[in-house]
């Protein structure tokens, strides 16, 4: 059985994040997604998880609880 999952991200400005992350990840805006309080990007190959950005009213008060590490293709550092 296939499992599909979405990485959820709370944000003050979800559309701003959904503009940056496709450039960094080769993802694309999710077709048909039209929630005015959020944004969503997807892996165009269908292999990776969707990333949903949901608008929250409260400002960030501490470190982010979630982040994405991007690894550039090629040899690992120090090899």
The whole-number mean pLDDT for each consecutive block of 10 residues of the chain, a chain of 79 residues, reads 75 91 94 92 92 86 69 64
Sign of the torsion angle spanned by Cα atoms 31, 54, 23, 71: negative
| Bridging pattern class, strands 50-55 and 28-29 | unpaired
Extract the tokens encoding 39.
């944004």
Fold annotation for 6-55: 3.30.720
Contact 11, 54 (CB under 8 A): yes
pLDDT of residue 57: 85
pLDDT of residue 23: 94
Which phi and psi angles does 18 have, rounded to 5°?
Answer: -70, -10
pLDDT of residue 69: 64
pLDDT of residue 38: 93
Q: The whole model's pTM is what?
A: 0.75
Domain ranges for the chain, please list them. Answer: 6-55
């Amino acid at each position: 059985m296939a499992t599909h999952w979405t990485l959820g991200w709370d944000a003050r400005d979800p559309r701003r994040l959904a503009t940056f992350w496709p450039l960094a990840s080769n993802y694309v805006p999710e077709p048909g997604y039209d929630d005015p309080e959020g944004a969503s990007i997807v892996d165009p190959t269908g292999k990776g998880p969707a990333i949903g950005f949901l608008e929250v009213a409260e400002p960030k008060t501490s470190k982010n609880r979630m982040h994405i590490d991007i690894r550039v293709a090629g040899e690992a550092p120090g090899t």
